Amino acid sequence: MAQETLFTKIINREIPADVVYEDELCICIRDIAPKAPVHVLLIPRKPIPRLVDASEADRELLGHLMTRVGVIAKDLGIEEAFRVIVNNGEDAGQTVFHLHLHILGNKQYSEDQLGF
């Protein structure tokens, strides 16, 4: 059996986390090392390692995640300005190999170096 990811352990309540949203398909937790005043991670319960590993069978799940982003952003009061980031692969900064969407809000992104 594949080794459990950190996020599977959080989903299974083996490791504590600050849960801001959950339903039958996904869970959303506050990032332990926030990179913005609001920084949460939206994680499917299904342990897809990377975005590139998602298949046609995951179409509905991925759509569900994207529609949850707006709901969660409104709940957290950041709906006017937030970013959604998915790191795919180690060289892109992925450290936990269980697909997750970073939702970052309440930051002046126009001042960022990247500027996109």
Q: Using CB under 6 A, list all residues that contact ligand AMP.
A: 6, 15, 17, 29, 31-33, 41, 87, 93-96
Q: Which is nearer to ligand AMP, 2 or 33 (CB)?
A: 33
DSSP state, residue 39: E
Minimum distance from CB of 1 to ligand AMP (Å)? 22
Under 8 Å between Cβ of 15 and 9: yes
Q: Which is nearer to ligand AMP, 81 or 96 (CB)?
A: 96
Conformational region of residue 54, where left means phi above 0, alpha means psi within -120 to 50, and beta covers everything else: beta
Could you confirm whether 39 is annotated as catalytic? no
DSSP state, residue 91: G
Question: Which residues are annotated as catalytic?
Answer: 100
